[in-house]
Structure 1
Amino acid sequence: MTTTGPAPQRKMRADARRNYERLLAEAATVFTEHGVEASLEEIARRAGVANGTLYSHFPTRQALLEALLRDRMRTLSNTARDLLDHPSAGEALIIWARAAMVHTMVYRGLATSLMRSIEDETSQLHAACQAVLAAGEQLLNRAQAAGTVRGDATASDLYALINAVAWAGEQTSPAQGERLLSFGIDGMRPATDS
């Protein structure tokens, strides 16, 4: 997984930059192994820095997650924008929902963190989650205009569905998550008269 450097407004000394990059690399490893609720102290230990160094770069778990996920969430938003040109509005929404589910399953427990962050304006993940939600909403609106998704479905519904199936997939298997996402997307289709 690629990581980004520090926020552009923050200049760092070379040693601080190395610590920052080591912390991100170790966080990615530890979160992959143990989920997003893993010990931050373990991340600092593996990076070879003091806990205070970790907290000076990342004052909260959410700040660390935001730094780790920044590129991935930006890519997910860009993918949604790119899919606005897809010839099938319904297929574009499905492609993006699958990509969002895979993104959400990158670390065990991430779905829960993302769902908390969407409403929590104090979370460092809030802005990134809102950007992803807005990008998905454009695809949803296009699919609704094409008549492939029911009109009462909201972007919040889609976001919750994706996070729910990602959570279920991490409890069982990615294949189960994929099946559940297909069922959920099918449930968003307009009712047909029989």
Structure 2
Amino acid sequence: MSEREGEVTEAKSDTPNPAGSAQGAAKRMRADARRNRERLVAAAALAFQSEGVDTSLEAIARAAGVGIGTLYRHFPTREALIEIVYRREVETLVVAAQELARDLPADEALAQWMQRFVDYIAAKRGMGDSLKILFESKSPLFAEVGGLIPSALKSLVERAAEAGAIRPDADSGDVLHALSSIYAASSGPDWRDRSRRLVQLLMDGLRYGAPGPSAPTA
């Protein structure tokens, strides 16, 4: 079915149907549209990480298994797609902090989250120029998500320090500054591997001098 035919089908799904099937068709259309949108955002995130923000929108649509017309219906401009991808990357990192803290010991949760931060930076580097344009255009995006990552990291660092798993003077602001420095590291095919090693070294430094868990009181 062509993109144009798909548009006609979607439009018809909102037309009252005497047989009573219009509501079900509309629900199916909305579910399909949501899935298409999610696939597009996921495909774009991977493309921006590996190819940069100038990657072909047609290639993103193909990777998502939809036509270019579907992409433009959801995201009329490249900047609209970049904005939602960046928001998704931030929110994914925040949710990861909550899940890791729930499932792992405090220091391991922090260590794994810091490694995931590398993937976030990779996506951010791929979108760098366009994010700068969004920032200069006064997009509300940065005000809306700006404090989420520092807050997530702060909770992980404080939890690990309270558990005695990292040094007690660890400051989440300092850790974030060190993590963010990998954004400016020189590019190359081994950038991600080098960044992961640097993050591991940073975690080793945080563990050095950790007092260990407090002995239970009698």
Global fold match (TM > 0.5): yes
1:109 counterpart residue number: 125
Decide which of 133, 138, 163 is 2:150's aligned counterpart. 133
1:181 aligned to 199, 211, 217, which one? 199
Query: Is the Cα–Cα contact under 8 Å of residues 93 and 143 in structure 1 kept in the other structure?
Result: yes
Q: Which amino acid aligns with 2:193?
A: A
CA contact (8 A) 2:167 2:207 kept: yes
Instruction: Name the CA distance, whole Å, in 2 between partners of 1:182 and 1:165.
Output: 13
When residues 25 and 139 of structure 1 are mapped into structure 2, their CA distance, relative to the original with a 3 A threshold, is: closer
Name the structure with the higher helix share.
2
| Residue of structure 2 in register with 1:9 after alignment | none
Task: Tell me if the contact between 1:84 and 1:139 (Cα under 8 Å) persists in the aligned partners.
Answer: yes
C-alpha distance in 1, partners of 2:145/2:44? Answer: 19
**Does the CA-based 8 Å contact 1:72-1:103 persist in structure 2?**
yes
Structure 1 unmatched ranges of 5 or more: 1-13
Change in Cα spacing, 1:111 to 1:166, as seen in structure 2 (3 Å) is: farther
Count of equivalent residues: 169
- Give a deviation string over 1:56-108, Cα, whole Å, max 9, x none: 956784x5323113334323212211222345211110011111212322x37
- Structure 2: runs of 5 or more not aligned: 1-28, 62-66, 211-218
Give the whole-Å Cα distance in 2 for the aligned partners of 1:48 and 1:99: 30
Identity rate, percent: 21
| Counterpart secondary structure, 1:90 | helix
Corresponding letter in the other structure for 1:151: D
Q: Does 1:149 align with 2:167?
A: yes
Of 73, 93, 107, 2:110 maps to 93
1:77 pairs with one of 80, 94, 101? 94
- State the alpha-carbon separation in 1 of the partners of residues 175 and 102 from structure 2: 20
RMSD: 4.4
Does the 8 A contact of 1:89 with 1:146 survive in 2? Answer: yes
Per the normalisation by structure 2, the TM-score is 0.54
SS at match of 1:151: coil
Counterparts of 1:11-22 in structure 2 under 5 Å? 21=37
CA separation of 1:69 and 1:175: change in aligned 2, threshold 3 A? same
TM-score normalised according to structure 1 size: 0.59
| Mapped partners of 1:28, 1:69: distance in 2 | 8
- C-alpha contact (below 8 Å) 2:48/2:126 kept by paired residues: no
Give the drift of 1:29. 6.8
